[in-house]
Amino acid sequence: MGKAVTLVNQPNNVQNFYPADDNWEMKMFPFVASTAIDEGTVIAPQITSNDVTGYVTKMWAENATGADFLWILAEPIKATDGDYAVAWKMKGVRVPKTPYAQAYFKVWAGTFTAADVFKTVEIHTDRKSLAVDTKGKGARIMEYIDSTHWICRFSLPETETA
């Protein structure tokens, strides 16, 4: 595995999704070729024509049936990487050990308020944050830190749409 952007015991400067508790473990998964993905992006199996391909990639739709949250990419995949165009390259992914695993996230557009705690919202189309002012089955807001920094969990039923 390549060097992760967020090193152990160092602050996350990316501010996409990243673990907020010890209920996560690191696993290696085979990624699709030629797709750049930022650290902290929501990852899911690649689906083509309603069938899985054996690869994983960034979640293809916010909360489409069969494409719910599964994991968080732990290291970036860049177009300048030596293995960028290689299929089945193994990359580190953060996998929740329980349905109650919590993750930090940053709101990139809009602002949640403290009244949004326990609200369920969609994963944003950027796959790196949650969508403000939505109602969906992407994640449940668990804790307010400040207007743009929050904790959530992805304990909602898989393959269920809003």
Q: How far apart are CA 13 and CA 15, in angstroms?
A: 6
Output the pLDDT for position 60.
63
Q: How many CB atoms lie within 10 A of CB 117?
A: 14
Residues of the chain with pLDDT under 50: 1-6, 11, 64-66, 159-162
Q: How far apart are CA 56 and CA 78, in angstroms?
A: 16
Strands, DSSP E only, in 18-160?
A: 18-19, 24-31, 42-48, 51-58, 71-73, 89-96, 102-106, 120-121, 139-146, 149-153
Q: Taking all residues of the chain, what is their mean pLDDT, rounded to a whole number? A: 79
